[in-house]
Amino acid sequence: MRDEDKNAFTEKFFTSTDGLKLYARDYRAASRDINRLPVICLPGLTRNSRNFHELALLLSQDAASPRRVVALDYRGRGMSERDANTTNYNLAVECADVIAACAALGIDRAIFIGTSRGGLILHLLAGMKPELLAGIVFNDIGPVIEPVGLMAIRDYLNRDRKPLSWSDAVDILKENYAAAFPVLAVNDWLNMAQAIYREQNGVPVADCDPDIAEQLKTIDFSKPLPDLWAQFESLRAMPLLVIRGANSDLLSPQTVDEMAKRHPDMVQIMARGQGHAPLLHLGDIPDTIRMFIGKLS
């Protein structure tokens, strides 16, 4: 991240209902005299607020319609406190943390962008506190998770090889994801590495509680994974944009088609040259997001 970008957001800490110290980045809109809905960004399973930095800059500094953007670190990720009770790393607790964040930051209604895990949380949020939701963007996620994609995430997060340097971290990412992300340039790979890892004693380490990755080992893939179609039904009246990586192994075209049948007003976009989960600042994705949220005031 460039030094000048650090002035684009304020670091905010708040407390969860069970007493954990949690973190958010608050990107204030470039124009202070606006009254547009803010955007709240929810990251993937082991990701954090840094994954949304480029998109947050684009939206908060947009010349025509800047917006406040908030990006969260779930408990156990990024700058948020680790939870001694690892069973709390679950969707219901993390959904409650999102509600606590909105209360702490004075947000009573927003447009939400959920990448992967973040989208699953939004399925629950629609049932727990629907009045918060003015619109939803699902980034490569839906009510059905493809087992092959989740197994790939499990294997990547629990791999034996750990990076010894930042260039090594980039190499590891390329080994695992280059085939699914042919559009990424050199800087994109480095930005991804810097969003996933933090430096500890001069070495990049995963910026999350390792117990989160361990949980994936307990999944019995011989049985069907649970789906969230019942929760998806509660989204039918809400504006919805679905972004699918063209090379995604987690969100299938069949699931997207079924989502469109159940939500006829759903907007879709394909992230060409990207897998799970697409980088939201590349290609025509930012313009599509701008157009979608622009209709929601």
In a domain, 200, yes or no: no
What gap in Å lies between CA 198 and CA 260, rounded to an integer? 38
pLDDT of res. 3: 47
Instruction: Give the type of residue at 293.
Output: I
Angle between helices 186-196 and 53-60 (to 10 degrees): 100
What are the percentages of helix, strand and coil residues in the chain, rounded to 5?
Answer: 40, 20, 40
In a domain, 196, yes or no: no
- How confident is residue 33, by pLDDT bands cut at 50, 70 and 90? low
How many domains in the chain? 1
CATH code at position 102:
3.40.50.1820
In a domain, 242, yes or no: yes
In a domain, 11, yes or no: yes
pTM: 0.96
In a domain, 192, yes or no: no
The average pLDDT across 6-24 equals 95
What gap in Å lies between CA 258 and CA 38, rounded to an integer? 29
- The residue range of the domain holding 253 is 3-146+226-294
In a domain, 185, yes or no: no
In a domain, 186, yes or no: no
In a domain, 181, yes or no: no
Q: What whole-number percentage of the chain has pLDDT above 90?
A: 92
How far, in whole angstroms, is CA 54 from its chain's centroid?
A: 13
Per-residue pLDDT tens digits for 194-233: 999 999 999 999 999 999 999 999 999 999 999 999 999 9
Average the pLDDT over each of 2-16, 68-82, 211-225, 232-246 and give the range with the smallest value: 2-16
